[in-house]
Structure 1
Amino acid sequence: MNLMAFGPFSDTLLDFDSGQEGLHMVYGPNEAGKSTALRALRQMLYGIPHNSPDNFVHPYPRLRIGATLRRDDGAILEFIRRKGRNNTLRGPDDAEVLDEARLRTFLGGVDAPLFSTMFGIDHARLVQGGQEIIQGGGDIGQILFAAGSGISDFRKVRNDLLAEAENLFKPSGKRPRINEAISSLKQKRKLIRDIQLSSQEWEQHDLALKNAREKKQVLEKELEEKDRECHRLERIRDSLPAIARRKELLEDYKTCEDAVLLPSDFAKRRRDTVKKQQIEEHALARTLQNLEEIQQGLEKLAVPESLIRNAEGIGQVYQELGSHRKAMKDRGRLEGLLSGAKSEAGDILRGLRRDLTLDQADQLRVEKAESIRIQELGSEYERLITRQESTKEEMSKLSLRMSRLKSQLAKLEAPHDTDELRKILDKMQGHGDLETAYGNLCREIKKAEGEVCFGVRKLGIELKSPEAVRDLPIPSPETIDAFEQSLGNAESAVQRYRSDKDELERRVVEIDGQIEQLQLEQEVPTEHDLNEARHTREQGWQLIRGHLLNTATNGAADHEVAFVAAFPPATTLTEAYELSVRHADELADRLRREADRVAQKVSLLSDRKTREAHLTRLSRKLKNAG
C-alpha cells in the first residue's frame, strides 16, 4: 500500500508482500500513524468518506492512496483511490477510470461493515465492546461473541426472541397460535370419529344402495317400453287423417286409370307447335300465291321454239358467261401490262442493240460457256483493278522520290565533263538497251510483287512489304496438294451451285409463265372460292328464313341490302339468293369440270415454292463460299 497523500503521510510505502501465514503486525510508537494507516487501508478498499479528517496536510482534491492486490490465483490489480463522489478508482497512471466491480472480485464478498468488524477493530471499537460486556452480563461466551461479531445489545435481542416464542406457544395457554392450532386439530379428529361408520352399518347401507339401483334399472326399462308404446300410438293417431285421405285419392284414381299421362313440358310444346303451325300455314299460303302468280306468268309467256331447241347450248353459254366476263374485265389490265413490258423490253434492247427488234431478242441470250467466260473476265477485272491501285500507290511514291531527287539535284554542284562517260555509254550500248531491259525487269518485279500481295491477302495474311514473304514458313508439298485439291473441289462446288441456281431460276420463270398462262385462259377456281360462295349463299338463306319466320333482327335490313348489292342485277332478296345459289353451283361444277387445271395450278404453286426454297439455300451457300 502506498500512502501517496493521506493524513501525515506523503509517498510512504507499506509492503505486505512477505510472510507465510497471511498475518502482518504493524507496530510503532504513539502518534506514529498506525490508526491513520488502518483508516487508509479501509478507505483504499471502500472509498474515502466525504468528511474525512485526514486532510490536515494534503487537501481533499490531492488525497491519494495507491495499492497493489494479488489474489490466490495470481491475478494482480494495481490502482489508486482518490477522494471524490464519482470515478474515485483510478489506474496506476491516475488517469484511467477503473470499474469497482474489478476490485470487488479481489475482496471475496467482504463489504465495508464486515471488514471493519473482523479486520479493522480500532481503539474506539474496543471501548464499545467493553461497554457491551458490562451491560449484557450472562454467559461470557455470548458476550465475547457479541463483541467479536459486532452484534450490539445481545441481551435485548435474546429477550425479543423469547417474547416472540411465548406469543407462538404456551404450555398452559389457549390464545397463542400454536395452542389454537392444536385445539382445532383435536376438534377435527373428534368430528372424524363421529362421522365414521362401523363396518356392519356400512354393509347394510351398501346392500340397500344395490337394491335401490336394481329397482331403478327395472323401472327405467319399464318406462322405456311405455314410452315406445306411447310414441307408436301417437304415430298411428297422426296417420289416421292421411290414411283417410289416401283412401279418397285411391277412389278418385280408379275413375282416371284410362287417362293418358302428359309430360311436364306439354303446355310449352303445344304452344310452340301451334306457333310453328301458324308460321307454316302462312308460308304455305304465300308460296301457293307465288306459285299461282308464276303459273299465270308462264301461261302468258311465249317461248320461241328456237330457244327451246337450243336450251342446252344456251345453258352452256350462260355457265361460261361469268368466266367470259371475268376475262373481258381482266383483258384491258393484262394488255396494259403486256404493252408496258414490251415497251420496257424495247428500251432495254435499244440500249444493247439498236439493230435488233423484240422478235430477234433471243439472239442476245448468253450461252452457258459465255456466262462462265464473263464470270472469269469479272474476276480478272477485279485483279486488274487491284493492280491498278497498287500501281497508283507506287507512282505516288515515285513522284515523291522524284521530287526529293530534284531537290537534291538542285543542291548539287555543276556537272563535270561527261565525254568520258558518253564513251563508256556508247560502249555499253553495244550490249543492247539496258534501260529498257531494266525497266522491263522492274515492271515484272512489281507485277510479281502485286500478285504475291494479292495472293497473300486472299490467304488472310497481312504483310508489311513483299519482302516479308521470304520470312513466311513454306508449307509442305502435301499441304499444297491438299489445298489445291480442296480449292478445286470448292470451285467445282461453286460452279455446280451456280449452274443449279441458273437452272432453278429458269424453272421458276417457266412455272410463273405456266401459272400466268392458266390465269390468262380463265381464272381457276379454288376450294376457298367455293367455300366463300357457299357461305354467302347460307347468309342469303338465313335472311329469307328470317322473313318467313318473322324472326328478323334489327340489323337484318342492312345485311339484306348488302347481300342484294353483291349480286347485280338482282333487285330483290329472292333474286339475289337465286343468283348466289347459281354462283355456288357454277363454282362447284367448274371445280369438277376443271379439276385437271385446278390440280395443275396447285402442283405448279407447290413446285414453285419448293424450288424457291432450294434457290434460297443455294444463294446462301454461294454467299458463304464468297
Structure 2
Amino acid sequence: MRFQRLDLLKFGKFSDRSLEFPGSTTDFHLVVGPNEAGKSTLRAAILDLLFGIPVRSPHGFLHPLNELKLGASVSNGETSLDFVRIKAQRQTLRTQANGALPDLALEPFLGGIDRDFFDRMFGLDHFRLVEGGNGILNAESDIGRILFQSAAGVASLGTVRDQLAAEADKLWAPRKSAERAYYAAADQLDLANSALKKASVRTKVWADANSAVETLRESLEAARTNWRELDMRRARLERVRRLAPLIDALGQNDAALELLKEATDLPEDAAQALSQAERDIARAEAVLKIRKGEVAAARESLSAISVDESLLSAEQRIAALETRRGRYEPYARDIERRKSEIQALQGEVRRACLQLKWAYDSEEDLLLMLPSLLIRRKLGDLARKASGIEQSLKAADSSERTKKADIESLEVQLGSLSEVKVTAGLRAALRKAQSLGDPAQVQEKQRVLVERADAGLETAMRALGVWRMGIEGLSKLQFPSGEALARRLRERQNFDAQVESLSKDLSEQISAVGEAELRVNQFTELRHPTTYAMVEQARAERDEKWASVKQRTDDFETDAEQFESAMQDADVLADTHLSNVEDVTELQSHKNELERQQHIQTRLEYQLEAAKGQLDTFSSEWSALTAAAGLDGLPLDDALDWIRKKDVALERGHSLLEAQKDSRSALNALTDATQELRTVLEENGVAPVNAENLSALCIQAEHLISEADGVKGRRDALNGQLVTARQVYVALQDDLVEARKETASWADDWASTLSSAGLDAAYDTGTVEGALELIGEIEEKARKVCQIQAERIDTMMADLALFAEDVEALCGAIAAPLNGQEPAEAVQQLAIKVQLANQARDERERLTGALRGAEQQVAELEKTKQEAEAVIEPLKARAGVSTREALAECIAQSDEKRRLLEENARLRRDLTTGGDGQSRQDIEAEIAAANLPEIATDIAALSGDLMTVVERQGTLSAELATAESTVTAIGGSDAAAQAEGQRQEALSKMADAAERYVKVFTAARLLRWSIDRYRQDKQGPMLVKASAIFAELTQGSFERLVVDFDKQPMVLEGRRPDGKHVGISGMSDGTRDQLFLALRLAALEIRLEQASKLPFIADDLFVNYDDARSAAGLRAMASLAKQTQVIFLTHHHHMEALARDTLGDAINVVHL
C-alpha cells in the first residue's frame, strides 16, 4: 500500500491542506518544515487515518473534536481507494461524497496489522533510534535478542524477559528460600499442621496441667518473699555506705567551727570589696602621675602658638575672591577667541551683501533694512507654487484634447460591432451536460468502481474459506448472531474450565486419599492400638468357648482350658484398650478422615463425569447446528470471526449492486444530455460537428455562448465608456478655464511682492529662492555678531573690573596693600596666609581641649582614690583593725566560718534526704555496727543473689503463664478451627504460586525460544543485508557485521577494513544508532519480501549526523524506497539540497 494523496482537512493546526505523493521507481518523499510546522501532527494523522481517531485526541485544539477529519487516496497495486476518516462512534470511514464505507474497507490495504504494529514496524524517529542503540548495547552478549528487538522495534525486550525471570524466581526455585512465595506458603502449612496437632487433647492432661499451675504459683510466691528479704538487707547496707561519709564530714566541720567561734562576722562580699578597692587605688595612683605630666606639656605648647585674628575674620571674603579668581582665569583667552569669531562672521555677511548689491556699514543698520519675515515667506510660497500652476495648466489642456479623441474612437468602435444571440435552452443544456463531468472519465470511474467492488467481494468470499457460498445463500443463512455465538463460546469455555478444574481437583483429591491411607497404615504399624472391635471379637470367642463348656461335651477339660485362655485374652485386650484409649481415638480420627476424603473423591468423580457429559452434549448440539446451516466442521472458536467475514461479504455484495446501479444511471444521464444538447444546438442554427460525442457538442455550445457573451459584453462596455468619457470631457473643459485664471493671478502677486522685498522685478523664481537664502544667512550671522559682543565679551570685561575693585577694597580693610601686584596674584597669597592661620588656630584649640581633658582626668582619679579608701574604712572599724593586711586576715576567717556553716546545713539536708526516715543517732548506730571495709563486697553478693532471684521469678512467671494458657486451651477454644483455616489458606497460596510460576516460567521460556528461533531463521539473510547497509551508513568505517561463534553466548561484532573486530560496547553512541538502523532496515526489507508493503515513516533520524553520514542514510532510505513508499520528515532545510545532490531530482519534496 502507498499514499497517493493525504488530506489534512480538519486536524491539529491544519485546515483543508492536501499533500501529494506521486509515484516513482524510487518512492521517496521528503517533507520539510520548520519547528512547530506540524510534522509530528502529520505522523499522528497517518496513524489516526489508517486506524481511527482516538476518543480523546490531543489534536482538537483548533477544530472541535467532533469535527476532526482526515482524507487520503491509497493504492495497492491495481486497487485504489479514495476515502475520508471522521471522528465518530461508528462508520468513521466515508467516501469523498460522505457515503458510509465498511469498517473493514482498509483491510486489503493494511494486510491485517494493527495500530501498534504499524507504528513500531513502519515508523522510526530519533528517540526510538537512540533507544534502540542503547538497547542493543544492553543486549550485546545475546545476538538473538539484538536481532529480534531490532526487527520488532522493541528496545525493552531484555527488560521484559528479565522481569519474567525475576518474578519466576520469587515464586519457586529448586533451592528453598523463605523469600519465595511457594516455600513461604509451605512453611505456613507446616506451622498450621503443628498447631492443629497441638490443639488435640489427651486424657489426664488437664489434671497434670492444673497441678503444674498450683506448684508454679507456690514457687513464685516463695521467690517473691526471698526477694523482699534480700532487698531490705541490700538497702540497709547501701544506706550505711551512702551516709557514712556525711556523718564523718559533719564531725570534722563541727570541730573546725569550734575553733572559729570567736571570729568576727563580716559581709559575704568583704573580700571582693577589699580586692577591688586596692586595685582602684593602685590604678589611680599610676595614672595620676602620667596625667599630671600631660597637663604641664600642654600648657608649655599653648604659650608658643600665635594666631592672626584679623586675617581669619576676612576668611570668607578671601575664599569668595579665590573662587571668583578661578572662575575668571579663562576670560582673557575667551575674549580674544570671541573677537576672532566676530571678525569671521562680519566677513561672511559682507560677501553676502555684495551678491545682493547692498551696502554694509554696521550690523544694526543692516538688520533694519532686511525685508520682513512675512514678505520672505510669501515670496517662498509663490516660488513653490509656480511650477505647480504651470503644470496644472499644461495637464488640463492635454487632458481636454485626449478625452475628445477618446470619444471619437469609442463612437467608431460601436458602429463596427455585429450582434450574436443564443437561447436560454442552450445555456441550460450545456450546464446540465457539464455537471455530469468528463464523459470518458465518468465511464472509466464507473468501470473502476464496479471492478473495485467486485474485487472486494471476491476478497471477502475467499476469506470465508471452505464454507464459501453465494451471496443469496449467505443472505438466507439461518445462523446464530454474533452475541449468541459469543454466549455459546463463553458457555463452552465454562464447560472446559469446569472439566479442567474438576480434573485438577480429582487429581489432588486422589493424592489426599493416598496420604490419608498412608497415615492410617503408618499409625497402625507404629502404635498397634487395641481397638474396640478387637475387644468385641475376643469377647465373642470367649463367649463361644463358654457355650461349649456349658454344653458339657466329651472334651470338657480342653474346652475349659480354651475358655480360660480366651477369657484371659479378652481381659488383657480390654485392659489394653482402656490403657491406650488415646491411640485408639487418634486412629479412629485418621480413619474418619480417610472416609471423608474417599467420599470427596467419589463426589468429584461423579461431578467430573457429569461435566464431561455436558461438554459432549454441547459439542453434539453445535455439530448439529453447523451441519443444518451447511457449515459442517466449522469450529466454534472460528464461528464469530466467520460471521464477521460473512457480514463483510454481504456488505461488499451490496456495494457491488450499488456500484452497478450507479454505473447504469451515470451512462443513461450521459446519453440524455447528448441528445438534449444536440437538439438545442440545431435550434440555435448550429449544425453539430460530431452528433454522438458529448464533449464535442459541449465545446461547440461553449464556443457559441462565449461568442455571444463576448459581443454583448463588448457593446455594453463601449456604451458605458462613451457615457463616462462625455461626462469627463465637460469637467476637463471647466478645469482648463480655472487653470488659466489661476496663472494670471499668480503673476500679479509675484510682481508686487518682489517690489516690497526690494528685489529686482526681473528675478525669476530660482533667483528669488537664492536671494531668500542669502537674506536668511545675513540675518542669522549679523544677529550672532551682536549676541557675542553683548552676551560674552562685554559681560566678561565687566566681571574682571568688578573683581579688581573688590580685591583692592579687601586689601585696604586688612592693612595689606597691593604694592603693584595683580589682583589675582594678591588673592592667591591671601588664601595661603588664611590656610596657615587656620592651622595655627586648630592646633591651639586641640591643645586647649587636651589640657582640659587631662585636668578633668586628674580630678576624677583623685575622687576614685578617695572612694576606694571610703569602702575599706568601715570594714576596718567592724573588724577592729587598722591595716589592710589585718583586715584581709579577718575576712578570710569570716568566709571560712560561713563556708563551714553552709556545708553543715547541706550535709544535714543530704542526711535527711538519704536517711530513709532514720534519725542521725540511728544512722550513727547502724554505721558503728557495720563493717565498713567489707560493705562493698556484701552489697555485691546481695546484688548477685537478687539477680538470681529475679531470674528465677521471670522463669517461674513464664512457666506459670504457659501452664495457665495450656489449662485455658484445654478448657475449650477455637485453636483447632483457626489452625485448619490457616492450613487451607496455606494450601491455596501454594496452589496460586505454582499456577503463576507455570505461567511466568512458560512465558519467559517461550520468549527465549522465539528469540532463538528468529535468530536461527533470520540471522543469515538479515546479517547479510544489515552488513551492506551498515557499511554504507558508516561510509566504510566498518566493512561488515560478523558473529563470533567461539563466545558463549555468541556476540555480534563489527569488522573494520583492516580486519579488526569491534564489539558493540566499543562503538560510539552514533555508530550504535547506525547499527540499530541497519538491522531495522534489513529486517524491514525481509518482511517486505514476505508480507504486505506499507509506507515507512521516518522522523528526523539524522539530526546528529554530519552531511556525509546523512547522505549515506538518505541513500539507505532510497534503497528501501525501491521496495515500498518512504516518507522522511525533517525540520532541517539543508536536507532538501543534500537529498537532491545525493538522490537526484527523482525525489518528491513537500514543504509544510
Normalising by the smaller structure, the TM-score range is under 0.3
Q: Which has the larger radius of gyration?
A: 1
TM, length-normalised to structure 2? 0.16
